[in-house]
Structure 1
Amino acid sequence: MNYCPHCHASSLVKNGRHPKTDCQKYRCQTCGRQFVQNPKKQRVGLGQKSLIGRLLLERIPLAGIARVVGVSERWLQNYVNRLYARVPRRVEAKPNRRTALCLECDELWSFVGNKGNKQWVWLALDRKTRAIIGVHVGDRSRAGAQALWDSLPEAYRESAVCYTDYWEAYRLVFPEDRHVAAGKDSGFTNHIERFNNTLRHRVSRLVRDSLAFSKKLANHIGAIWFFVHHYNLSRLDF
């Protein structure tokens, strides 16, 4: 390599040796960047990053993804931190107002760091499109139910009929005239309960008795939203 890998200029000068690998270092006189020729560790390419994105949607822990893709766990963790931080925390839905809107809501138990730090995943699913249109991660109190309600698009808050289980927090927050509480044997919440199983099977940090649990709440929330947005794209009517 007789040119700078950053600006492709050929005005290079030697600039000492790398303290760990003892490789010759060079400095570009045009852009000032330093580098070594033929580095042992190559940059992670777009193809590898695309593969990482697909693997994050499967039941594979970060350590497993690092082994499959051939990157360090430290690099992967930093990359995932940035990726999850950019994931939108809201669903932009424009439902067909000519049909009645119907929601199924449920809560999914999870934890961050240890099982004493419970983080409930509140979910709202459009019964017609099967898309997830509301998400909140927090405690299982009235405040959690309120946050789920606030996460819904305006059209759903205005007119949707909401089917839930008998958890008291729903009754305290959801409009009485559009709230239907029912048991699991009624079948009114079958779709959201089925999605809960899908979520546990696809997001490794939600698997029961897993070593891939979340250590950081922001990443826990980001991983859930990352999967939700991908799942919604598969709903053709959404």
Structure 2
Amino acid sequence: MMCPTCGSTDIKKNGTTRRGKQNYRCRDCGRQFVEDPQWKPKSADTKAMIDRLLLERISLAGIARVMQVAEAWLQGYANATYEAVPQQVEVIPKAQQRLDVQMDELWSFVDDKGNEQWVWLAIDARTREIVGCYIGDRSGTSAKALWNSLPAVYRQCAVCYSDLWSAYPTALPSKRHQPVGKETGKTSYIERFNNTLRQQVARLVRKTLSFSRRLENHIGAIWNFIHHYNATLRTKLAAG
């Protein structure tokens, strides 16, 4: 028998665990351990697969069944993953020139449908990158937060097309904003992305049992997909 920490074979018995298994202690480094422990650290391959599954329309319970991990462990892993996700867009650098941005807001909820959380999004009409995001209520304050989430070059050079929702004119500079009807097609890309988001993120499906119970996880899951979406676009643009 070898110590799992230092590899020493100078091992002695050290009582039993609360579950009745023989406990051992390394005389060299002091590490206590049991032979063939039930709990083992998850491999890097397992975590990498879970990271990919978190980007799909699968509930945490479904991922736990597929990967054969405990739901409690998976919930803790997902919490840590979402907390680490940056809440700021990463986009291809742009020159100071005319840019076209489409904006829209997407309904969602956390815990129950009375707790509405609107997902405000902005997309570059040429590259299709998501260039702004904010999750909050449907007020002008949230529209302003969406505007502030845009990279500086967009706030300086872009014309932002939105629907006729009243919050936009109160938050966006008039010279940078143009409200339009759906029939113009000038918000079609962001509306299509809303559909993509609902198809990929299970907690955004309208009639779902995979809804978020914590606002932090709701926000983290959305940002996690946005970063993946933009990274995939950058790879395609670089290859093409």
Alpha-carbon contact 2:91-2:230 (below 8 Å) kept: no
Q: CA deviation at 1:98?
A: 5.7
Q: Structure 2 unaligned runs (5+)?
A: none
TM-score by length of 2: 0.94
Moved over 4 A (4+): none
Within-5 A mapping of 1:87-166 = 87-97=85-95, 99-166=97-164
- The answer to whether 1:7 aligns with 2:45 is no
- The answer to whether 1:48 aligns with 2:46 is yes
Distance 1:80 1:120 in 2: 22
Distance 2:202 2:152 in 1: 32
Q: Which residue of structure 2 lines up, in the alignment, with residue 17 of structure 1? A: 16
Distance 1:29 1:107 in 2: 62
Q: CA deviation at 1:164?
A: 0.3
Moved more, 90-99 or 187-196: 90-99
Q: 1:64 aligns with which of 58, 62, 65?
A: 62
The aligned length equals 236
- The answer to whether 1:228 aligns with 2:226 is yes
Q: CA deviation at 1:95?
A: 3.1
Distance 1:94 1:58 in 2: 25
Alpha-carbon contact 2:96-2:157 (below 8 Å) kept: no
Distance 2:201 2:90 in 1: 22
Residue identity matched to 1:6: T
Moved more, 36-45 or 100-109: 36-45
Residue identity matched to 1:65: I
Distance 1:25 1:40 in 2: 13
- 1:223 alignment partner, SS class: helix
Distance 1:184 1:104 in 2: 12
Q: 2:82 aligns with which of 81, 84, 106?
A: 84
Residue identity matched to 1:11: D
Alpha-carbon contact 2:117-2:136 (below 8 Å) kept: yes
Q: Which residue of structure 2 lines up, in the alignment, with residue 214 of structure 1? A: 212
Distance 1:31 1:85, change over 3 A: farther
Moved more, 152-161 or 31-40: 31-40
Distance 1:206 1:29 in 2: 54
Residue identity matched to 2:206: R
Q: 2:203 aligns with which of 202, 205, 227?
A: 205
TM-score by length of 1: 0.94
